[in-house]
């Protein structure tokens, strides 16, 4: 009776995770997985593509000439890899321009500060802002200081780094919260571990009900120095100049290519990351290594003559860093959500792979763990709850099972959104292991008899 009830529940499901007689996926796909891993670990083409992206095109902020060069080049690379249905899914993207910028301490001593304007910030008035500084370690500190101590001053947030997720809120909302108390600018300690005087940029958002003030990141060392001086009762004055401005939205687009399914071409598994980057460094870890590993995963399948049951699609989404319009444009492009079998996003750097987070139900988790065993050779067998990402969030909200490829992340946030995000930070061996992991996971999800089932609320926004 119990078995009959379970069978009926599975039969009634719109997208059953598996049938009772489905073979163990580890056994079923061992030979194919080993072929893909062998090919990935011997590959040099993928890293060469990444080198071209980093050294010949460079950083790729939305609205920039470099991003549009990267879009066209990416489509060429997908065609060269033998992918089908290569196209650009058009969308408008924000065009924020950094311009000239600088910050320096003018009291108690003259000292340049290591700074980067935060993405989407407004400019200072011509000639800049010179003002006394107040320091807040937390938003509670800000409230305790109150308007009487903040009015007309620059707020320096010296928030302790306890992890990216909890710290980035100061970057995202700190300017508006400071403006509510009359601050004239905000300087935010970079959302990163202590590094060698490296400022980290990133997106910030204004509360449209409050005055807009310029905002920039400063290095952790500079923030700690200013905080110590203020704590010792030493007045600190800073001069800030920023010429950032917003131009009209620009034309851009996601780049996609496919290996059409041999039995169900209408059903799609998509793997990808974001093509855009901040306007510093080369966007190598964030997110060039990811998209090149995804592309090369499909290129290897073409070379090996592998064609899964369903369509396997690679997507290079645009505007992840400061708007998310690429993910929204892709959701509109796919239209029929019931044919979206799974979405895998890689946006945590290309250090050594660890496994996958997945927003799926319990039965689907068991299937993914079977696939995970195929990835033990490259250290990527860990399957945990909670998967998704910024670009696939619109799909996940509509019920598509989502996965995020995860790496050890040992040094990712030291390089994240900085001048240091360059090709030399991507270890070729780790890169090839990520490629192998994506190739196996993508192929099996597109070929296995059943489909994953999303867990309620299975998606997460991901890293920005």
Q: Which residues are the active-site residues?
A: 320
Torsion of CA 284, 286, 290, 295, to 10 degrees: -70
Question: Do the strands 245-259 and 237-242 form a parallel or antiparallel pair, or are they unpaired?
Answer: unpaired
Q: What is the DSSP string of 221-242?
A: HHHHHHHHHHHTT---EEEEEE
Longest pairwise C-alpha distance within the chain: 81
Determine if residue 332 is left, alpha or beta; phi over 0 gives left, psi from -120 to 50 gives alpha, anything else beta: alpha
Joined together, the tokens standing for residue 387 give 């998967």
CA distance 458 to 453: 10
CB 437 within 8 A of CB 375: yes
- Cβ burial, residue 401 (10 Å; 0-12/13-18/19+): buried
Among candidate residues 277, 278, 272, the one with its CA nearest the CA of residue 290:
272
> What angle do helix axes 139-150 and 164-179 make, rounded to 10 degrees?
20
């Amino acid at each position: 009776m119990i078995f009959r009830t379970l069978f009926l529940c599975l039969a009634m499901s719109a997208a059953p995770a598996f049938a009772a007689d489905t073979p163990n996926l580890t056994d079923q796909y061992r030979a194919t997985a080993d072929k893909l891993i062998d090919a990935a670990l011997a590959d040099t083409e993928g890293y060469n593509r990444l080198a071209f992206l980093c050294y010949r095109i460079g950083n790729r902020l939305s609205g920039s000439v470099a991003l549009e060069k990267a879009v066209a080049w990416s489509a060429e690379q997908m065609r060269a890899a033998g992918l089908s249905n290569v196209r650009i899914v058009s969308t408008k993207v924000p065009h924020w321009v950094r311009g000239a910028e600088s910050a320096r301490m003018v009291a108690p001593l003259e000292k340049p500060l290591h700074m980067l304007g935060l993405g989407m910030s407004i400019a200072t008035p011509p000639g800049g802002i010179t003002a006394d500084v107040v320091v807040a370690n937390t938003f509670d500190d800000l409230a305790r200081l109150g308007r009487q101590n903040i009015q007309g001053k620059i707020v320096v947030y010296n928030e302790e780094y306890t992890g990216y997720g909890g710290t980035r809120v100061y970057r995202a909302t700190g300017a508006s919260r400071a403006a509510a108390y009359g601050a004239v600018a905000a300087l935010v300690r970079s959302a990163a571990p202590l590094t060698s005087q490296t400022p980290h940029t990133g997106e910030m958002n204004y509360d449209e009900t409050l005055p807009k003030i310029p905002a920039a990141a400063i290095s952790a060392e500079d923030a700690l120095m200013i905080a110590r001086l203020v704590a010792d009762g030493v007045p600190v004055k800073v001069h800030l100049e920023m010429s950032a401005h917003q131009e009209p939205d620009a034309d851009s687009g996601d780049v996609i290519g496919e290996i059409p399914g041999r039995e169900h071409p209408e059903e799609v598994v998509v793997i990808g990351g974001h093509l855009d980057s901040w306007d510093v460094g080369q966007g190598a870890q964030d997110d060039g290594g990811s998209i090149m590993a995804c592309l090369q995963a499909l290129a290897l399948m073409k070379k090996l003559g592998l064609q899964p049951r369903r369509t396997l699609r690679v997507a290079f989404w645009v505007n992840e860093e400061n708007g998310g319009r690429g993910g929204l444009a892709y959701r509109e492009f796919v239209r029929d959500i019931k044919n979206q079998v799974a979405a895998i996003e890689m946006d945590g750097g290309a250090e050594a792979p660890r496994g996958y987070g997945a927003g799926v139900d319990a039965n689907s988790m068991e299937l993914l763990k079977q696939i995970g065993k195929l990835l033990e050779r490259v250290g990527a067998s860990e399957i945990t709850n909670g998967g998704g990402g910024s670009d696939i969030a619109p799909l996940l909200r509509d019920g598509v099972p989502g996965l995020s490829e995860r790496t050890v992340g040992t040094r990712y946030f030291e390089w994240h959104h900085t001048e240091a995000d360059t090709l030399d930070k991507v270890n070729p061996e780790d890169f090839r292991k990520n490629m192998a992991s994506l190739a196996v996971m993508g192929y099996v999800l597109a070929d296995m008899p059943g489909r994953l089932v999303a867990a309620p609320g299975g998606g997460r926004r991901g890293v920005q």
